[in-house]
Structure 1
Amino acid sequence: MRSCPECGAANGDTDDFCGNCGSYLGWSQESGESAPGAAAPQRAAGAAATTNPPATGADTATLAGSDAAAPGSTRGTNGAQGTSAAAAPQSAGPAAPAPTPPRTASAGPTRPVVPPARPTSTAPTRPEPSVPPRSDAADAAPITAVQPAKPVAARPVVRPAEVRETDGPPCPACGTPNRPGRKFCRRCAAPLDAPEPVAPLPWWRTRWPFRRRVRGGSGRLFRALVTLAVLAALAIGALFLLPAGRSLFEDTRDKLSGATAVSPSRVTASAEVPGHPAGSATDGLNNRYWGAPAVGDSLTFTFRAPFRLVDLVVTSGASTDPQVYRSEARPIALDLVTTTSKGQVTHKSITLNDKPGPQTVPTGISDVVTVQLVVRSAAGTGPGRHIALAEVEFFRRD
C-alpha cells in the first residue's frame, strides 16, 4: 500500500493519484530505499573484509619463512598451524638449533624465540617431532586465503492483496474503474463526484432585470415590481403614442404614394350671393366662384365613400387674373371641419395667402365622408363687396 504524502490516506500500489485529496503519488516512495535482498550480501562482504584485511609484504615473507622451517606443516582456514604429517628423520647427533625467524614489521612488541634445550644424555633416543617456533608476529599476521562469504537470501516481503477496482464507478474523464468511496481517479485525478452540469438559462433570463442572482431567492420582489412598472409604461405609451404613431405611419405612406383628385357628390352652402352658387366652387373653372355674403358663411362637401384626404387645394378670389382677383373680397382664414364614417369630427385651421392662384394645404385625414369650409376672415371687404371663393379641390391617396 502507498500512503499519500499530503493527507496520509492509504492507496493501492498501482494508483497514481490519491483517492482522498487527488495529490500525485509518484513522489511518495523514498529515493534512498533499496531492495531488501541486496542488504545481506553487502553486510556479509563488509564483515569478511573486517575479519580478513589484505596481507602486507612483511606478512607474506613471514609466512614463507615459516613454511621453509616446517615443510610438512599445514595451515587451516582460521590461521592456526597444524602438526607435521610425517615424522622427522632420526639423527645421531644433537638436534641443531632452529633458525631464528626474521623480525617483522608487524604492529606490537615481539618476544624473543627461546631455542629448545639440548639433551643431557648421549644415548640414542627417538627424536620428538620438531615443531617450528611460534612467534607473535605470526599470530598477528592476517589471513589471506579465505572462503568467500555466502550471500544470505532476502526475506520475502508479504504484501497485501491488491484491491480489485473493477466494481467501482468508471472515471468520467478516462474511464478507469475506481473502488467505491474514492473522490479522485487513480489514473488521471479527475473528480469522481463532480456535480451535474447546470442547464443554460434562456436568453431572456440573462438580461436585466430578469437574470438570476447568485443567492437563491434574492431580488424576486424587486424583479416583479420592475416587470409591472415596465408593463404599465408600455400600456400607457401604447395608449398615448398609438395615435401619433399611426399618424406618422400614414403620413409616410402619403409621401411615398401618389394622389388622385376626388369630386364630392353634393355641395351645399349656408348662404350665397345671387349668380354665384355653391356649385361654382367645384366646377373646375377659375373665372366662376362661390360668393359668400359675410364672414361666417360655409360650404359643405359630401362624398359617396370614405377616403383619406391627403391634400386640399384652394383658389381664392374672383379669378386668377390679378385685376379681377382684387375686384372682390378674398378669404384668408378658413376653418376645416371633417367628419368620418364613424362620426368623429376633426377641426383644423387653414391660413391662405392673399394672392391669385391655387394654394395647397396638406391635411392627412383618414376615413373622411364630409368636409366643411367656414370663412373666418377675409381681405378687401367693403361696402358693395362680397367674399369670393373660386375653386376647392380634394385629393386622396392612391
Structure 2
Amino acid sequence: MRSCPACGTANGESDDFCGNCGSYLGWSSEPVRPGRAREPEPVPEPEPESPPKPESVLEPAREPGGNPAAGSEPESVPEPAPEPAVNPAVNPAVNPAAEAEAQAPEAAPDPGPPARPEAPARPEQPPEADPADEPIGAVRPGKPVARRPVVRPVAADEAPDGPPCPACGTPNLPGRKFCRRCAAPLRVREQPAALPWWRTMWPFRRRVRGGSGRALRRTLLVLAVAGLVLAGFLFFPLGRYVFEDVRDKLGGTAEISPTGVTASAAAPGHPASAAIDGLTNKYWGAPALGASLTCSFGTPFRLVGIVVHTGVSKEPQEFRRGARPTRADLLVTTEDGKVHRKTVTFNDKPGKQTVRMGISDVRSVELVLREAAGQGEGRPVAVGEVEFFRRT
C-alpha cells in the first residue's frame, strides 16, 4: 500500500493519485510492506593506508637462475643516523633518493670474467612525517554504493467494479473521490436542465427555485393581464389612434381621386370640377365666403393628407391679382356617419398647402371657405386644385 503524503490515506500500489484528496503519489516515499521493516544498508568505510615498513636487511644476491649464490650469507647493514626530516613539498629541490644515488660509488669496468654482483645500496628512507605538520588538502568524497534490489511480492492487480472515470474511463472503487490514474474528480455535479426560451429573456431569465413564491408570482401575473385588458377597453379609442398614427408614419402614401364633386355655389366659367382636374391654371371660383366644395369617394379609405392649391395661378403676378382663401373648415364624413371637423389656415403665397390628416373609413370631404385675401368687386375666391392622399 502507498500512503498519501498530504492526507495519509492508504492507496493501492498501482495508483498514481490519492483517492481522498487527489494528490500526486509519485512524490511520496517508497511503499513499505506491513510487517516488514526496511533494513538500513551499510556504508563501507575507507581502509586506512599502512605506512611503508623500512627494510633493514638486504636480500642475498641471486644468481641468474633465481637461487641465492652459494656461500653467501645475508649481511646486515647498519642503520644510518637519523637526519632531520625534510618535507619535499616545502623544498622540492632536496630529494634524499637523488642524493643517495649521487653518493653511491660507481662500479669500475672489469675486463676479466664476470664477478659476482654486489647488492646495490638501498636509498635511505626518510622518517615518517607527523600528520599534524602536513598541509591540509582536498579530500575525495566517498564512492557511492548502488542500492541492493529488494524483492517484493507482486500483489494482484486491482480490478475494482466501480464506476469508470468520466475523463479516462479507468474503473475505480466506489469510495474514491478522485481517479487513480488521472486525478479527475469522480463525483461530477449534475448540470441543470436547459431553460425554455422565454426564461432566457428579461425579466424571466432568473432561475426559479422550488417553493420560492411561485403561487404569488402567478397571481401577480394574472392581475397584470387583467389590468391590461381593462385599460385597453377603457382607452381603446386613444390606443387605436396611436396605433394608426404609427402606421401612417411608417407606411407609404398614394393619391386618390374622388368619384364625384359638387359645390354650393360657383362663379361663371369656374365650375367645381376645375378643382379636381389636375391642372392649376383652372380653378373653382366661389362667389362669396361660406361657399363649400364637396368631394365624395366610392370606397372608404384611410385619409392621411390633403393638398390645396390656392389662387388663380402659381405665378406670383397672377396670384396677387385674384382673391385667395386664407382660412377654411374641413368636414370629413366617415362610413358610420360621423363627421370630423378641422379648421385649417393657408399661407398667402403661391404653391401647395399641405394639411395632415389621420381619419379612417372616409366617405366624403367638404371644404368650406371662411376667410379670403384680395377680394374685390367681381373677384371670386379661387381654389386652384384639391388633392387627396391615402395610406398604402
- TM norm structure 2: 0.54
Q: Name the amino acid aligned to 1:315.
A: T
Offset, 1:29 = 1.6
Note closer, same or farther for the CA distance 1:37–1:211 as it changes in structure 2 (3 Å cut). closer
Is 1:379 the equivalent of 2:373? yes
**Structure 1 contact 352–359 (Cα < 8 Å) conserved:** no
Give the structure 2 partner of residue 394 of structure 1.
Answer: 387
The C-alpha deviation readout for 1:355-381, integer Å capped at 9, x for no partner, is: 5x6634354556532110111212345
Note closer, same or farther for the CA distance 1:188–1:25 as it changes in structure 2 (3 Å cut). same
Give the structure 2 partner of residue 3 of structure 1.
Answer: 3
Q: Name the amino acid aligned to 2:245.
A: A
Percent identity between the two aligned chains: 45
**Structure 2 contact 270–285 (Cα < 8 Å) conserved:** yes
Give the structure 1 partner of residue 14 of structure 2.
Answer: 14
The C-alpha deviation readout for 1:338-366, integer Å capped at 9, x for no partner, is: 223354543333323445x6634354556
Q: What is the SS of the residue equivalent to 2:26?
A: coil
2:162 to 164, 168, 173: 168
Is 1:188 the equivalent of 2:182? yes
After superposition, where does 1:152-301 map in structure 2 within 5 Å? 161-162=155-156, 164-201=158-195, 205-212=199-206, 241-250=242-251, 253-254=252-253, 259=255, 262-269=257-264, 271=265, 278=272, 281-282=275-276, 286=281, 289-293=284-288, 295-301=289-295
**Structure 1 contact 314–359 (Cα < 8 Å) conserved:** yes
Q: How many residues align?
A: 286
Note closer, same or farther for the CA distance 1:225–1:325 as it changes in structure 2 (3 Å cut). same
Q: What is the SS of the residue equivalent to 1:394?
A: strand
Q: Name the amino acid aligned to 1:5.
A: P
Counterpart CA distance in 1 for 2:293 and 2:18 is: 102
Offset, 1:312 = 2.6
**Structure 1 contact 205–211 (Cα < 8 Å) conserved:** yes
**Structure 1 contact 176–187 (Cα < 8 Å) conserved:** yes
Offset, 1:184 = 0.9
Offset, 1:219 = 8.8
**Structure 1 contact 333–352 (Cα < 8 Å) conserved:** yes
**Structure 2 contact 310–324 (Cα < 8 Å) conserved:** no
Q: Name the amino acid aligned to 1:195.
A: R
Note closer, same or farther for the CA distance 1:240–1:228 as it changes in structure 2 (3 Å cut). farther
Give the structure 1 partner of residue 116 of structure 2.
Answer: none
Give the structure 2 partner of residue 108 of structure 1.
Answer: none
Q: What is the SS of the residue equivalent to 2:247?
A: helix
Q: Name the amino acid aligned to 1:394.
A: E
The C-alpha deviation readout for 1:65-111, integer Å capped at 9, x for no partner, is: xxxxxxxxxxxxxxxxxxxxxxxxxxxxxxxxxxxxxxxxxxxxxxx
Counterpart CA distance in 2 for 1:319 and 1:14 is: 105
Give the structure 2 partner of residue 312 of structure 1.
Answer: 307
Counterpart CA distance in 1 for 2:319 and 2:174 is: 113
CA-based RMSD? 5.3
Return the index of the structure with the highest Cα Rg: 1
Note closer, same or farther for the CA distance 1:377–1:162 as it changes in structure 2 (3 Å cut). same
Decide which moves more: 223-232 or 272-281: 223-232
Counterpart CA distance in 1 for 2:3 and 2:316 is: 118
Counterpart CA distance in 1 for 2:28 and 2:316 is: 117
Counterpart CA distance in 2 for 1:330 and 1:54 is: 143
Note closer, same or farther for the CA distance 1:306–1:319 as it changes in structure 2 (3 Å cut). same
Counterpart CA distance in 2 for 1:326 and 1:364 is: 31
Counterpart CA distance in 2 for 1:276 and 1:20 is: 107
Counterpart CA distance in 2 for 1:298 and 1:305 is: 22
Counterpart CA distance in 1 for 2:192 and 2:319 is: 89
Counterpart CA distance in 2 for 1:248 and 1:371 is: 22
Offset, 1:291 = 2.9
Counterpart CA distance in 1 for 2:260 and 2:284 is: 18
- TM norm structure 1: 0.53
Q: Name the amino acid aligned to 1:373.
A: L
Note closer, same or farther for the CA distance 1:274–1:308 as it changes in structure 2 (3 Å cut). same
Q: What is the SS of the residue equivalent to 1:26?
A: helix
Structure 2, unaligned runs of 5 or more = 54-148
Counterpart CA distance in 2 for 1:161 and 1:32 is: 13
Counterpart CA distance in 1 for 2:316 and 2:207 is: 79
Note closer, same or farther for the CA distance 1:217–1:266 as it changes in structure 2 (3 Å cut). same
Offset, 1:245 = 0.7
**Structure 2 contact 314–351 (Cα < 8 Å) conserved:** no
**Structure 2 contact 328–344 (Cα < 8 Å) conserved:** yes
**Structure 1 contact 263–303 (Cα < 8 Å) conserved:** yes
**Structure 1 contact 170–176 (Cα < 8 Å) conserved:** yes
Q: What is the SS of the residue equivalent to 2:246?
A: helix
Counterpart CA distance in 2 for 1:322 and 1:156 is: 127
Note closer, same or farther for the CA distance 1:321–1:287 as it changes in structure 2 (3 Å cut). farther
Counterpart CA distance in 2 for 1:344 and 1:201 is: 52
